């Protein structure tokens, strides 16, 4: 039985996880500790000054979180602490440096002798990240993780978490295929050269330092360079461009090391494990839901018929464990798995909007003064030109009047113009960053993930409790999930209401 196999597979395994304080990584680690306390060791890489500081960070940002309350209740505080001290090895490290920058040669040797599986979840997910940071973590960081994995004598697999949106702005059915670097050409027919991108970035950074630019100016220039290079090569933003190049590098340099690439879509709160609705931070579609609930969203750029591809975080973690158990030790394997819902169980932005309106009408949020916030339907506009026109007529023209008043009556209290102008610019920036996703026309083919799921289901006698490693998107009822799990989860864990 595969379910038994997955639990059994994890027994006595030593697993390294990068980006261990991130949302997905935490859920992955919690699941392993909960279902297989006899895992041998979990090396967790986090940014910190030393290993003691790394453990402190892990305690504060991972193990003391609500996410671990089920495990804490199951085995008790004392046993949990014992389990953590026996199984968790904190590693103060940074994937953008060689060997994660681990200076302690004893620790490094121990890791390279013991590690069976490497799971790379570390990433910077800001759409408009600085180009130097994005290249350092998402692109060359992935290569550093691969090179480290190759030095691990027992390494059976590298599992690399990417994103489904490495597809750029393609439409139609998007297949689970690894990138072929030679095929990547921009509109002028120029081939993408990753080393050239790195050199270009370094040259620009050097120029900025030589010109004695302020840190703010350097950040801005580096962000602009990232977006410019991404768009030149056909990607909408720095995040997905640098993630794509990371996939290309590890695909090209993997040799015979088994490599699995997981490409999740938009990750949302837990569907069922360890309990429903756990989430951390506002993720893509959530900031829009929350802005709507707070009554500040009056209009937004979105195609109501576009599919919003979401997948609960626990399902992604289950797919990661299943893919690892399936492919570990399969020399030469290079598999890509889309983990999402658009192909088998699509939900549109229009449907999500309806559900959100119903939810906040029935259970309105309270404002700071304690009064209930009334929500109305949001004006949804489905192309950028119309949206810009709407913003101009509805907000920018009245704003010019405010500016005039500020000039004519400079003694008026408060800087209304600046404040409103800032808000409008913020909306426009958000809309520009989100545009490729809210008007997205692609559907992610997930036949590899589907057959992984089917094999798993075949192998397990469906006990009444259902599957222990479920990641079948067909099992999600979007109305129920959003209304009873996800939105309440956002309110409890993110808005802390």
Known catalytic residues are 239, 243
Tell me the sheet residues that pair with 266. Answer: 310
Tell me the sheet residues that pair with 267. Answer: 311
Cα radius of gyration rounded to whole Å, the chain: 24
48: helix, coil or strand?
Answer: coil
Distance CA 4, CA 41 (A): 20
* φ, ψ dihedrals at 173, nearest 5°: -85, 120
Distance CA 225, CA 312 (A): 33
Distance CA 231, CA 151 (A): 36
27: helix, coil or strand?
Answer: helix
Angle at 436 between CA 350 and CA 227, to 5 degrees: 155
Residue with tokens 């192998």: 459
Do 439 and 303 contact (CB within 8 A), yes or no?
yes
The answer, yes or no, to whether the previous bond of 257 is cis (omega within 30 of 0) is: no
306: helix, coil or strand?
Answer: coil
**Cα four-point dihedral sign 29, 31, 34, 37:** negative
Distance CA 444, CA 340 (A): 7
Distance CA 201, CA 197 (A): 6
């Amino acid at each position: 039985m595969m379910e038994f196999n997955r639990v059994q597979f994890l027994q006595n395994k030593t697993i390294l996880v990068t980006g261990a304080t991130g949302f997905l990584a935490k859920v992955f680690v919690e699941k392993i500790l909960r279902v297989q306390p006899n895992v041998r060791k979990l090396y967790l890489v986090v940014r910190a000054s030393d290993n003691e500081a790394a453990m402190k960070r892990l305690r504060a940002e991972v193990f003391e979180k609500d996410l671990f309350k089920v495990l804490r209740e199951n085995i008790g505080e004392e046993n949990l602490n014992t389990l953590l001290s026996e199984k968790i090895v904190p590693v103060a490290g940074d994937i953008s440096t060689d060997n994660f920058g681990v200076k302690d040669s004893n620790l490094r040797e121990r890791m390279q002798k013991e590690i069976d599986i490497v799971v790379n979840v570390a990433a910077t997910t800001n759409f408009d990240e600085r180009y130097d940071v994005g290249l350092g973590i998402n692109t060359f960081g992935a290569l550093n993780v691969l090179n480290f994995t190759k030095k691990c004598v027992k390494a059976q697999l590298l599992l690399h978490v990417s994103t489904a949106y490495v597809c750029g702005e393609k439409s139609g059915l998007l297949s689970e295929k690894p990138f072929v670097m030679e095929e990547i050409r921009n509109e002028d027919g120029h081939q993408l050269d990753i080393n050239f991108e790195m050199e270009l970035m370094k040259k620009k950074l050097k120029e900025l330092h030589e010109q004695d630019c302020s840190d703010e100016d350097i950040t801005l220039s580096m962000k602009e360079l990232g977006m410019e290079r991404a768009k030149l090569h056909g990607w909408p933003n720095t995040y997905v461009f640098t993630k794509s190049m990371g996939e290309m590098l590890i695909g090209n340099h993997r040799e015979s090391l088994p490599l699995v690439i997981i490409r999740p879509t938009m990750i949302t709160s837990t569907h069922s494990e360890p309990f429903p609705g756990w989430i951390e931070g506002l993720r893509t579609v959530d900031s829009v839901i929350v802005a709507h609930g707070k009554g500040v969203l009056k209009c937004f750029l979105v195609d109501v018929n576009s599919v919003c591809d979401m997948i609960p975080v626990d399902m992604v973690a289950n797919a990661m464990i299943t893919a690892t158990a399936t492919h570990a030790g399969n020399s030469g394997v290079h598999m890509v798995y889309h983990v999402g819902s658009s192909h088998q169980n699509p939900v549109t932005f229009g449907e999500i909007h309806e559900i959100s309106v119903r939810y906040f009408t029935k259970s309105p949020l309270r404002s700071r003064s304690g009064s209930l916030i009334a929500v109305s339907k949001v004006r949804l506009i489905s192309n950028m030109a119309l949206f810009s026109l709407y913003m101009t007529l509805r907000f920018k023209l009245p704003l010019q009047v405010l500016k005039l008043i500020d000039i004519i009556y400079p003694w008026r209290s408060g800087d209304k113009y600046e404040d409103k102008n800032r808000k409008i610019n913020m909306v426009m920036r958000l809309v520009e960053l989100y545009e490729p996703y809210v008007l997205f026309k692609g559907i992610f083919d997930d036949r590899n993930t589907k057959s992984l799921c089917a094999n798993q289901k075949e192998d397990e006698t469906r006990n009444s409790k259902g599957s222990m490693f479920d990641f079948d998107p067909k099992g999600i009822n979007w109305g129920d999930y959003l209304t009873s799990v996800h939105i309440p989860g956002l309110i409890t864990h993110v808005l802390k209401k």
